[in-house]
């Protein structure tokens, strides 16, 4: 059990716990910030300093702790520590806390935000694993309730608890109702297949043949036609390590019968500039290498998707020169030059030009994402392809056009990308239920050029901009029926549990009923009829 609160320079001695029943009820005294017996204008036991941006606040009769950034990039924390006996090792703790923030801007590293840092330490002051550190950033107007559990590790002599603005640039952080108690045992969450699966990188098969464009088909050197069917597997665009991504690649190929993986990546992780890396992106790039080999050695192809938006930027040329040198003429790799161009003219899309700062959306109009841009000069898509070819790489390039990579109509109006020295171009379209005119936007182009439906999918939960959304149970079979009728290459979005529209219901790889089941059935060979063109 906890033996006592420690006296620190910023904390008064509160109590010595000798009663197990009392300790089990509440281990953080005055965690609701209501008690103030010494008429100091401060909550008992918290030792706050307004000069440091630490305040005891009251709102509608409720008291709480507020931390404010006084000096940008500097630490602002309040400190408490709890001591253990040896027999406490292995016991379970549960913490509940309410948090709220306003204008919290992270500092030089992404984790420099508002958080409650906690550390288990041994008697020599060495940190031990097992503590949590709930964080919050941006602005959250309503209180967020957090509950989490942890075990006291072997050798732990104390737990440090530090609500703080951890070197944040700006903002304020509110904390209330911080409760810590012993529990009989932690809730055991069964591990999923994604957490327990162990797969080798080498799948034991020869790499697939390198492809080239012939008319509106993809063929190998012997003239054999190849039809790419698979899934988009996201997470490397928002995480440098991904979410169970190796397991997902293997299962999508070996159990769902995918022969193509669309793999989103991001320049900030590739070059190690996100703030999370200290190796210039080396570990991230090696992970991508591993995923490509995992796919290729199972006979599949990878579309390396630069998952960024708007228009080609100068940095994107730097990325593609680097990536093209790395995967030059790799038979399994194709290059997806830019995820979703939008809000530019066809001429700027192809030839480059000024791309203006994003204009704030009108009231009542929802945007497809909230990314903002400063005005920049785009080199254009043709220059991007030329940069790839300057390395000598002949890999097929996959190119999305306008309207968030949906509208390919300009390709037939003189805006096609020229590729005299490579294996050709496949055009990328992203088809969702809120998009219309399949014939004009991508099927007309598919009659003359190979296309990839790099993203497509539907969900029972409509997007904010959808008006009178169609049922996924009519859209999904028609979409797949269209793909099969015209033999279109496709990678369904998304082979993930939390990137809508979802193919996966959980990390046991259960397909969602509204989209994943249709995708899996189609990949395994079931035929669908397109009853209605959109």
304 contacts 336 by C-beta, under 8 angstroms: yes
Cα distances (Å, whole numbers) of residue 309 to 401, 463, 495, 514: 11, 19, 21, 28
Please enumerate in sequence order all residues whose Cβ is within 8 A of that of 514, keeping only pairs 6 or more positions apart, or say none.
Answer: 458, 459, 460, 472, 473, 476, 501
381 and 444 both lie in a single domain: yes
Closest CA to 416 of 404, 399, 430, 440: 399
Residue 385 CA neighbour count, 13 Å, CB half: 26
Which range, of 44-48, 51-55, 351-355, 431-435, averages the lowest pLDDT? Answer: 44-48
Assess whether pLDDT exceeds 50 at residue 451.
yes
Buried b (16+ CB within 10 A) or exposed e, 474-497: ebbbbbbbbbbeeebbbbbbbbbb
Domain of 92, CATH number, reads 2.60.120.260
Looking at the chain, the number of H-run helices and the number of E-run strands are: 13, 26
How much helix, strand and coil, in percent to the nearest 5, is found in the chain? 20, 30, 50
Number of domains in the chain: 2
Averaged pLDDT, 14-34? 61
The DSSP call for residue 209 is P
Contact 325, 317 (CB under 8 A): no
Domain boundary residue, one of 183, 200, 230: 183
Return the number of other C-beta atoms located less than 10 Å from residue 210's C-beta: 18
The confidence band for 8, taking pLDDT boundaries of 50, 70 and 90, is very low
Residue 305 pairs with which residues in a beta bridge?
Answer: 264, 336
For the entire predicted model, the pTM comes to: 0.85
Residue 17 lies in a domain: yes
Q: Both 168 and 251 in a single domain?
A: no
Averaged pLDDT score across all residues of the chain: 92
Q: Are residues 277 and 163 in the same domain?
A: no
Give the C-alpha separation, 387 to 251, whole Å: 34
Residue 359's pLDDT band (boundaries 50, 70, 90)? Answer: low
Based on the number of CB atoms within 10 Å of its own CB, is 29 exposed (0-12), middle (13-18) or buried (19 or more)? middle
Mean pLDDT of 59-81: 95
- Pick the more confident residue, 47 or 490: 490
CA–CA–CA angle 224, 225, 226 (5° rounding): 120
CA dihedral 317, 320, 321, 323 (to 10 degrees): 160
pLDDT tens, residue by residue, 176-197 = 999 999 998 888 888 999 999 9
What 3-state class would DSSP assign to 326? Answer: helix
Q: Are residues 234 and 154 located together in one domain of the fold?
A: no
Q: Residue 356 is part of a domain; what is its CATH number? A: 3.20.20.80
What is the distance between the alpha carbons of residues 387 and 24, in angstroms, rounded to a whole number?
65
Range of the domain at 11: 2-183
Tell me whether residue 531 is in a domain: no
Q: pLDDT category, 14, cuts 50, 70, 90?
A: very low
> Does any domain span residue 214?
no
Q: How many CA atoms lie within 13 A of 18 on its CB side?
A: 1
Residue 205 forms part of a structural domain: no
Residues 6+ apart with CB under 8 A from 81: 5, 6, 8, 11, 158, 159, 160, 161
Longest CA span, the chain: 88
Q: Are residues 354 and 308 in the same domain?
A: yes
Report if residue 313 sits inside a domain. Answer: yes
Q: Which of 131, 164, 183 is the last residue of a domain?
A: 183
Any domain includes 202? no
Contacts 24+ apart (CB under 8 A), 143-146: 143/98, 143/99, 143/100, 143/174, 143/176, 144/98, 144/99, 144/100, 145/96, 145/97, 145/98, 146/95, 146/96, 146/97, 146/98, 146/99
* DSSP assignment letter at 299: T
Placement of tokens 């609160």 in the chain: 5
| Domain identity same for 234 and 325 | yes
Phi, psi of 353 (to 5 degrees): 145, -175
Domain stops at, among 183, 198, 232: 183
| Residue 351 and residue 292 share a domain | yes
Judged against a pLDDT cut of 80, whether residue 1 lies above it is answered with: no
CA separation, residue 84 to residues 5, 29, 125, 174, 209 (Å):
10, 16, 13, 28, 62
Q: Are residues 177 and 225 in the same domain?
A: no
Q: Could you tell me if 138 and 7 lie in one domain?
A: yes
Strands (E), 10-91: 54-59, 62-68, 76-77, 80-84
Q: Are residues 149 and 236 located together in one domain of the fold?
A: no
| Statement: residue 349 has pLDDT above 90 | yes
Query: Residue 50: inside a domain, yes or no?
Result: yes
Cα 321 to Cα 488: distance, rounded to the nearest angstrom: 29
The answer to whether residues 379 and 304 belong to one domain is yes
Q: Is residue 351 part of a domain?
A: yes
Least confident window among 5-9, 382-386, 434-438, 444-448 = 5-9
């Amino acid at each position: 059990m906890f033996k006592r609160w420690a006296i620190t320079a910023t904390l008064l001695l509160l109590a010595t716990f000798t009663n197990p029943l009392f300790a089990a009820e509440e281990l953080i005294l005055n965690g609701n910030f209501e008690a103030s017996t010494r008429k100091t204008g401060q909550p008992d036991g918290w030792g706050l300093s307004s000069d440091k941006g630490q305040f005891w606040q009251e709102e509608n009769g409720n008291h709480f702790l507020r931390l404010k950034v006084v000096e940008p990039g500097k630490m602002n924390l309040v400190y408490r520590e709890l001591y253990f006996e040896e027999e406490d090792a292995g016991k379970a703790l549960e913490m509940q806390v309410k948090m709220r923030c306003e204008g919290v801007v992270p500092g030089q590293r992404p984790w420099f935000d508002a958080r409650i840092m906690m550390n288990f330490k041994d008697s020599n002051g060495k940190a031990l694993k097992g503590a949590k550190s709930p964080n919050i950033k941006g602005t959250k107007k309503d209180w967020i309730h957090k509950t989490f559990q942890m075990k006291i590790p072997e050798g732990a002599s104390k737990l440090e608890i530090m609500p703080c603005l951890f070197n944040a640039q700006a903002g304020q952080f509110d904390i209330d109702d911080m409760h810590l108690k012993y529990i009989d045992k932690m809730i055991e969450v069964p591990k999923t297949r994604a957490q327990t699966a162990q797969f080798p990188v080498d799948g034991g098969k020869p790499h697939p043949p390198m492809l080239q464009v012939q008319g509106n088909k993809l063929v190998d050197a012997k003239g054999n036609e190849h039809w790419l069917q698979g899934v988009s597997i996201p997470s490397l665009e928002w995480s440098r390590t991904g979410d169970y991504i190796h397991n997902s690649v293997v299962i999508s190929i070996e159990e769902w019968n995918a022969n193509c993986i669309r793999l989103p990546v991001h320049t900030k992780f590739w070059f190690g500039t996100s703030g999370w890396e200290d190796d210039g992106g080396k570990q991230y790039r090696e992970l991508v290498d591993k995923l490509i080999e995992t796919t290729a050695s199972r006979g599949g192809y990878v579309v390396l998707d630069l998952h960024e938006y708007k228009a080609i930027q100068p940095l994107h040329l730097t990325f593609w020169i680097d990536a093209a040198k790395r995967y030059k003429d790799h038979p399994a790799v194709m290059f997806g030059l830019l995820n979703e161009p939008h809000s530019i003219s066809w001429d700027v899309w192809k030839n480059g030009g000024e791309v203006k700062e994003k204009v704030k959306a009108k009231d009542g109009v929802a945007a497809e994402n909230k990314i903002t841009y400063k005005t920049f000069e785009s080199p254009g898509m043709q220059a991007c392809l030329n940069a790839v070819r300057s390395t000598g790489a002949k890999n097929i390039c996959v190119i999305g056009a306008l309207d968030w990579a949906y509208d390919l109509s300009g390709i037939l109006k003189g805006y096609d990308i020229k590729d005299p020295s490579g294996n050709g171009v496949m055009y990328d379209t992203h088809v969702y239920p809120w998009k219309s005119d399949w014939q004009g936007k991508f099927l007309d182009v598919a009659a003359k050029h190979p296309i990839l439906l790099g993203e497509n999918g539907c969900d029972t939960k409509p997007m904010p901009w959808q008006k009178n959304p169609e049922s996924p149970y009519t859209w999904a079979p028609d979409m797949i029926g269209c793909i099969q009728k015209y033999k279109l290459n496709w990678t369904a979005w998304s082979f993930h549990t939390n990137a809508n529209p979802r193919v996966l219901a959980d990390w046991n790889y259960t397909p969602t009923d509204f989209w994943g089941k249709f995708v899996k059935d189609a990949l395994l060979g079931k035929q669908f009829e397109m009853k209605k063109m959109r």
